[in-house]
Chains A and B, each alone.
Chain A
Amino acid sequence: MTEKQRVKIEKMSSPVLKMGNVEIVLGKVEDAWDEPMGPTPKPRLADLRDWDMKLLNRYEPFYSPICDMCCMCSYGKCDLTKQRRGACGLDMRTQQARTIAMESVIGAACHGAHARHVIEHQIQRLGRDYEIDMGLNIATEAPVTRAIVGIKPKTLGDLEEAMEYAEGEIQNVLSSIHTGQEGDYKDYESKALHIGMIDNLVKEIADIAQIVGYDFPRGDPDAPLVEMGPGTVDHKKPVVLMIGHNVAAGAEVLTYAEAYDKLDTIEIAGICCTAHDLTRKNPKAKVIGPMSEQARYIRSGIADVIVLDEQCIRTDILEEAKKVGSVVITTSDKLAAGLPDMTSRPADEIVDKLVSGEIPGALILKPEKVGEVAVKTAEMIAPLREGRKAIPSKRELVKEAKKCTACEACMRHCPVNLHISDALSAAKKGKLKALEDLRERCIGCKRCEAACPKEIPIVSLMEKASEKMLKEKKCKLRSGRGPILDTEIRNVGPPIVFGEIPGVVAFAGCSNYANGAKEVPEIAEEFLKRRYIVVASGCAAMALAMYTDEEGKTLYEKYPGNFDAGNLANVGSCVANAHILGAAIKIPHIFARRNLRANFEEIADYILNRVGAVGVVWGTYSQKALSITTGLNRWGIPVIWGPSGVKYRRLYLGRRDQPEKWEVYDAKTGNKVPAGPLPEHLTYVAESKEEVIVSIARLVMRPNDTTKGRQIKLSHYIDLHRRYYGGMPKDLPLFIRTEGDIPITEKETVKNILKEAGWKETPIPDPTLLERMIMKRV
């Protein structure tokens, strides 16, 4: 790797010069990392374009334009329908691809700015030379960074080199979106894929810096079970609620409370990923839930102080907080919320102004000061706020419900099509069960309230109807374990690659669920029982903890936290999902001994053809979920979105009716051979829970599966198809290469299907899309 040499001079005196406390950076030298530099260190856009085009020719982008116009420059706005071009010459397809590239940049920039902030903060706390130590069982400390950047980071300062590269790429792709730049949709997609890969990189950087700086678990499968749910917070104590994704400020709240022995006298809780990371720092912190809880939890009035950091935060938090007298502290220059900058003021002065109501909140950019102010303010303001909430009484609820004229504007504006007016009709008669049931599926976006001509506070009515249930809602979430251990990869690498562990299913992303969060654990458990490896991060990892079985246990209590068959591993927050990709990358490196260093294409080719991993983002909402998905796609990992994902406007879909697109090289012979539509899609939208379950079973198949592995995968596919679709799958001939692939228990039935379809045997290749990986030419 490259490494800066530093000389620190504490004091020097000569006839011409006097100086002190000076650090001199002498330059960079190559160290003794014995892995040779691969072909693409710090790849620029064009370096991996060939790989992208291989993917894009097979998985031709599908566009569903949300908007018919382009409104991005003052030539327009331009109507792009019916093959029209805009004033700059751009067509509809390219405009969609451009938007995808732009949204991916936004997602990557969010994770990147997060990473930059965490690195700077940790370097300020611990120094640039602070060692990156990921523990005894993690030698491959930064697989994504190694594969992309070609460095092996040893210190916090080393992460800056990777960060500088990433920032340059983000700027470059962003510039391509300017009017009159790129004009080809596939090239825009290549840029989106590139920036998705950069997103993977900056997430890994951010989480390594967090793990090292805050001493988070380093791949601990037994990370503690922590409390989650609205019912876990003791309302009688002062409550500090953190919302967002960057735990820097929240960590200091914990540090202050720890230092002054207040952890048992105040409640520190979080919503969204910052909550995950609070529990990684101290398991006494509590998790309220995912983003959907923000507005309604604030309306409950329980939080005395609300600390906002960054990303996925409702922009009306301050307004909601004012209704219940909660104080808001913003902690990032990216989200100042119009509040006065109090960073330079003494902590006690800020506390006084907040408690007296002189200011509704404050912007404080020093995390340590946030810790002190938040805790002190919560303690002082809690007795003054007692009983304040924006939830109606039952009588008020009925009165509000009676205003409803059943115009159904609420339902038409609801992103998940909830039958709200039916529930309000029942509520008029004092029957609240329907409203309570709706809350289970509500995503908390408040679009119904905005649409209601009678200004009924619908979300608050649901909250009231669910009051008893919410008080009792407590569950157990396994705190984020961080990376997957190298030792775990050694154990599961071979069975994954040969197909004997039928697949890895990774749940990630937001809480914009079409049919309630409950479907996420239902999907996960289907595969846990079948001994797939299930991993999770972000809001999806919280959804997995929100429901209990008849014995009151969540999935985290029922299934161990290892990266192993039939296990459920929560890696942590959104940035921690880089470790899920990291596990896929480690398989070719550790098990197949492929070089990792700056060797993106070879590793991605390996994953695409051999590692049966599938991502599920069942509640897509943010640009970050898009960049996460697009990044995984470039590495050859398919991702299934829930129905809301179609509003991102682009998918990567394969076509099984075009067999010529599914040929691969057999690396042993150099022949091009059919490899089935595997994996059939890179980004797919499923319509229902049933469809996602069946699709997962299909998308984990890979050309490299051994016959035994394919048998196992097909037996799950057939069984799940029978159970959820009501019969045998009709497409089996596409996935059977030799009779040895047929599950033994289905031999006769499947043979008949093959006969009817005129099926012919095909060879099992040593699959690759890269010509340079061919070992022998015929």
Chain B
Amino acid sequence: MRPDVAARIILKAEKPLLVVGAEIADHGGAPLRTAVRLAQELEMPIIATAHSCKFLEKEGFTNYVEMGLVELTNAASDPEWQGVEGYGKPDLIIVFGAHLDLMNALFQTLKSFSDIPTLSISRYFMINADFSLPNLDEDLWLQSLEDLCREVEKGRAKAPL
């Protein structure tokens, strides 16, 4: 999937939720800034898994909810789940920056037990996500994240208030 298509999926969602894992800081500051840009543009909280909240705080971003990745997955697979604190049940879960096994587990679980669509914007293709960026080398991935953010910002600017 191209970044502009991923951006359209994000723009179509009314209540997207962004999940950011602890490996977000392993690739320099760019992916972290992508997360913050997306969250601010879409006015959504970030689910900060493991110690990723530390990096978000450093970026000055505080609208996050601290949760384990499997805790979030568990809650999201419950049809009765009302969503995170005051934000409501999401209609799209966007994930990146977490350990591959755990991201894969999230997508597998939600594929089997939830109707919430999922989108992976991690560097590797996630076969069990509903939508996923392909396998990319580091530079192309970082460029894709930048393109994705730009498309989302452009789309929001065009959208009627």
Question: Chain A interface (Cβ within 8 Å of chain B)?
Answer: 60, 62-66, 68, 80-82, 92-93, 408, 412, 417, 514, 643-644, 646-647, 651, 653, 655, 657, 684-688, 690-691, 694-695, 724-727, 729-731
- Pick from B68, B73, B75: contact of A64, CB under 8 Å: B73
User: Measured between alpha carbons, how far is A643 from B100 in the docked complex, in Å?
Assistant: 9
Q: Are A726 and B50 in contact (CB under 8 A)?
A: no
Q: Are B105 and A687 in contact (CB under 8 A)?
A: no
Q: Are B112 and A691 in contact (CB under 8 A)?
A: no
Q: Are A686 and B68 in contact (CB under 8 A)?
A: yes
- Pick from B49, B74, B98: contact of A62, CB under 8 Å: B74
- Check: B51 CB closer than 8 A to any chain A CB: yes
* A756 CB, min distance to chain B CBs, angstroms: 13
- Pick from A653, A725, A730, A731: contact of B51, CB under 8 Å: A725
Q: Which residues of A contact B82 (CB under 8 A)?
A: 657
User: Measured between alpha carbons, how far is A224 from B109 in the docked complex, in Å?
Assistant: 47
Q: A655-B74, A687-B68 are in contact. Are A643 and B102 (CB under 8 A)?
A: yes
User: Measured between alpha carbons, how far is A514 from B26 in the docked complex, in Å?
Assistant: 14
A683 (CB) vs chain B CBs: closest residue: B70
* B69 CB, min distance to chain A CBs, angstroms: 6
5 A-B interface contacts by CB (under 8 A)? A647-B101, A687-B50, A688-B23, A690-B22, A726-B54
B110 (CB) vs chain A CBs: closest residue: A64
User: Measured between alpha carbons, how far is A278 from B92 in the docked complex, in Å?
Assistant: 55
Q: Are A64 and B108 in contact (CB under 8 A)?
A: yes
- Check: B21 CB closer than 8 A to any chain A CB: yes
Q: Are A646 and B105 in contact (CB under 8 A)?
A: yes
Q: Which residues of A contact B74 (CB under 8 A)?
A: 60, 62, 651, 653, 655
User: Measured between alpha carbons, how far is A688 from B102 in the docked complex, in Å?
Assistant: 11
Q: Are B77 and A686 in contact (CB under 8 A)?
A: no
Q: Which residues of B contact A685 (CB under 8 A)?
A: 68-70, 102, 105
Considering only residues 39-76 of chain B, those with a C-beta below 8 Å from chain A are: 49-51, 53-54, 57-58, 66, 68-71, 73-75
User: Measured between alpha carbons, how far is A150 from B125 in the docked complex, in Å?
Assistant: 54
Q: Which residues of A contact B12 (CB under 8 A)?
A: none
- Check: B99 CB closer than 8 A to any chain A CB: yes
B109 (CB) vs chain A CBs: closest residue: A64
Q: Are B99 and A687 in contact (CB under 8 A)?
A: yes
- Check: B87 CB closer than 8 A to any chain A CB: no
B81 (CB) vs chain A CBs: closest residue: A657
Q: Are A65 and B109 in contact (CB under 8 A)?
A: yes
Q: Are A691 and B109 in contact (CB under 8 A)?
A: no
- Pick from B50, B58, B73, B108: contact of A691, CB under 8 Å: B50
Q: Are B73 and A688 in contact (CB under 8 A)?
A: no
Q: Which residues of A contact B109 (CB under 8 A)?
A: 62-65
B66 (CB) vs chain A CBs: closest residue: A730
Q: Are B57 and A686 in contact (CB under 8 A)?
A: no
Q: Are B22 and A417 in contact (CB under 8 A)?
A: no
User: Measured between alpha carbons, how far is A730 from B54 in the docked complex, in Å?
Assistant: 13
Q: Are A691 and B22 in contact (CB under 8 A)?
A: yes
User: Measured between alpha carbons, how far is A724 from B75 in the docked complex, in Å?
Assistant: 24
B124 (CB) vs chain A CBs: closest residue: A412
User: Measured between alpha carbons, how far is A684 from B158 in the docked complex, in Å?
Assistant: 44
Q: Are A687 and B75 in contact (CB under 8 A)?
A: no
Q: Which residues of A contact B99 (CB under 8 A)?
A: 417, 514, 643, 687-688
- Most B-side CB within 10 Å, residue of A694, A695, A726, A730: A726
Q: Are B70 and A646 in contact (CB under 8 A)?
A: yes
Q: Which residues of B contact A691 (CB under 8 A)?
A: 22, 49-51, 68
User: Measured between alpha carbons, how far is A514 from B50 in the docked complex, in Å?
Assistant: 14
User: Measured between alpha carbons, how far is A514 from B135 in the docked complex, in Å?
Assistant: 21
User: Measured between alpha carbons, how far is A20 from B134 in the docked complex, in Å?
Assistant: 79
- Check: B15 CB closer than 8 A to any chain A CB: no
User: Measured between alpha carbons, how far is A690 from B23 in the docked complex, in Å?
Assistant: 12
CB-CB contacts of B77-101 with A at 8 A, as 1s and 0s?
1000010000000000000001111
- Pick from B53, B71, B105, B106: contact of A725, CB under 8 Å: B53
Q: Are A62 and B73 in contact (CB under 8 A)?
A: yes
* A594 CB, min distance to chain B CBs, angstroms: 33
Q: Which residues of B contact A726 (CB under 8 A)?
A: 51, 53-54, 57-58
A422 (CB) vs chain B CBs: closest residue: B138
* A713 CB, min distance to chain B CBs, angstroms: 19
- Most B-side CB within 10 Å, residue of A514, A688, A730: A688
Q: A646-B101, A687-B21, A730-B66 are in contact. Are A65 and B51 (CB under 8 A)?
A: no
User: Measured between alpha carbons, how far is A725 from B23 in the docked complex, in Å?
Assistant: 14
* A707 CB, min distance to chain B CBs, angstroms: 26
Q: Are A727 and B51 in contact (CB under 8 A)?
A: no
- Check: B37 CB closer than 8 A to any chain A CB: no
Q: Are A66 and B108 in contact (CB under 8 A)?
A: yes
Q: Which residues of A contact B105 (CB under 8 A)?
A: 64, 646-647, 685
Q: Which residues of A contact B100 (CB under 8 A)?
A: 417
User: Measured between alpha carbons, how far is A172 from B145 in the docked complex, in Å?
Assistant: 54
User: Measured between alpha carbons, how far is A724 from B52 in the docked complex, in Å?
Assistant: 10
User: Measured between alpha carbons, how far is A408 from B141 in the docked complex, in Å?
Assistant: 15
Q: Which residues of A contact B113 (CB under 8 A)?
A: 63, 92-93
Q: Are B70 and A62 in contact (CB under 8 A)?
A: yes
A641 (CB) vs chain B CBs: closest residue: B70
- Check: B111 CB closer than 8 A to any chain A CB: yes
